[in-house]
Amino acid sequence: MGRSYASGFAVALRRWPAVLVLFLANLLAGLTFTAASWLWLNAALDRSLATRTLLTDLDMNVFVDLFVHHGESFRTLCHGAAGAGALFILLGVWLNAVAIVAICGDAGLRNWLHRGLDLYPTYLGLWLATAAFNAIGLGALFVAARALTHWTAQSTSEMTVYGIGGIGAALAATLLIFSATVHDHARIHSAATGAGTARAYAWAFGFAGRREKRAVPLTLLLVATGSVVWVAYQTVGMVIPTGSGPGLTVSLLWGQALLLWRMLLRVWAFAVAADLQNVDKTA
């Protein structure tokens, strides 16, 4: 497991153009939403002091004023944000395909982009299958937790409901980790073999759930790695002053550093999964 972890990181570093593509696309999404929000705030608040206040301090009084007195235009902004979010999700399916093609071969950025488009229908199907699996699984857990809570309503222990909630949350997290692992392996298997949506998903389900016991632990290890870096990021971010122009600039750049790290981690996860499948083939 350690060999796949280290090897995946080395491959992710070598595929830095794919990391850069993911970073720039996510940066564009963030800047687009920020620009739209800022233009709306300027129009809604008429470039008032409250607009500048939100730049450095998320004052809840300003948000209440926006909700009460500018509700219609705020809903319009939300609808636009939802549409943009859906568009960037569809774009993300292609970008993930590009990253996976990159770690599966060394043909160059242009070929990665074209191959990603070829895989798009299959990857969109895998994304929908994963979303349906998550929705059904989480829905079933929610219904079961509600039923148990109702069934134990007469319990004399106040900890019963917290126990049910804690177990439910742990099961939900386990389901999402397993689902993400299956999704990654399905996409990599499809890129490597040309398998369709149903075939790739069924193969990955068996691979991660039964045949390869290291698949889920490796995903957990990568999640733990990302969590450690996130804690370090938050710790440093707490000491960066945002009340001044230079401090705000440093804070924004620090945020972009975290985004770049997240994209590297994404490609790293793909590389780890691909290495694990290659080890399985040669075993």
What's the one-letter identity of residue 233?
Answer: Y
Residue 73 near residue 44, CB atoms below 8 Å: yes
Closest CA to 130 of 202, 193, 221, 210: 202
Residue 187 near residue 104, CB atoms below 8 Å: no
pLDDT tens for the 283 residues of the chain, in order: 788 888 889 988 888 888 998 999 888 877 777 777 667 666 665 555 455 555 555 556 655 666 666 566 666 667 767 777 788 888 889 999 999 999 887 678 888 888 889 999 999 999 999 999 999 999 999 999 888 888 877 766 777 778 888 899 999 999 999 999 999 999 999 998 888 899 999 999 999 988 888 899 999 999 999 999 999 999 988 888 766 667 777 888 888 899 899 999 999 999 999 988 887 565 4
Residue 252 near residue 56, CB atoms below 8 Å: no
Question: What's residue 42's pLDDT?
Answer: 66
Question: What's residue 229's pLDDT?
Answer: 93
Q: How many CB atoms lie within 10 A of CB 52?
A: 12
Return d(Cα 196, Cα 198) in angstroms, integer: 6
Return d(Cα 225, Cα 136) in angstroms, integer: 29
Return d(Cα 269, Cα 251) in angstroms, integer: 27
Torsion sign, CA atoms 185, 187, 188, 193 = positive
Return d(Cα 110, Cα 223) in angstroms, integer: 30
Return d(Cα 114, Cα 94) in angstroms, integer: 10
Closest CA to 257 of 18, 40, 19: 19
Closest CA to 223 of 186, 268, 188, 190: 268
Total domains in the fold of the chain: 1
Return d(Cα 183, Cα 176) in angstroms, integer: 10
- Annotate 191-202 with DSSP letters as a single string: HHH---HHHHHH
Closest CA to 54 of 66, 72, 70, 69: 66
Q: How many CB atoms lie within 10 A of CB 48?
A: 12
Q: How many whole angstroms from its chain centre is CA 75?
A: 25
Closest CA to 272 of 233, 225, 235, 203: 225
Q: How many whole angstroms from its chain centre is CA 86?
A: 14
- The residues, ordered by sequence, that sit 6+ positions from 258 with a Cβ below 8 Å of its Cβ are 229, 230, 233
Residue 126 near residue 183, CB atoms below 8 Å: yes
> Residue 66 half-sphere exposure, CB side, CA atoms within 13 Å?
24
Question: Which residue segment(s) compose the domain that 129 sits in?
Answer: 2-282
Rg (alpha carbons) of the chain, rounded to whole number = 22
Q: Which tokens hold the place of 37?
A: 């929000």
